[in-house]
Amino acid sequence: MTRKRRSFTPEFKQEAACLVLDQGYSVTEASRALDVEAVEKPH
């Protein structure tokens, strides 16, 4: 089953980046705060 990829506005991406970079949120915390699912890329 294929899931449709979500798209986000530049403003939303900026807000998400600010939570992590400026406010010290983890990626998981920021995704919860923004009500989106965090998907970590494999290394």
Condensed to tens digits (0 to 9), the pLDDT of residues 1-43 reads 677 778 999 999 999 999 999 999 999 999 999 998 877 667 6
Determine the Cα–Cα distance for residues 23 and 30; give it in Å rounded to an integer. Answer: 10
Range of the domain at 14: 9-43
pLDDT for position 6: 83
| Within a domain: 3 | no
If you write DSSP's letter for every residue of 1-43 in order, what string do you get? -PPPPP---HHHHHHHHHHHHTT---HHHHHHHTT----PPP-
- Per the structure, how many domains does the chain have? 1
pLDDT for position 43: 67
| Within a domain: 2 | no
| Within a domain: 19 | yes
Nearest to 28 by CA among 16, 43, 38: 38
| pTM reported for the whole predicted model | 0.70
| Within a domain: 1 | no
| Within a domain: 35 | yes
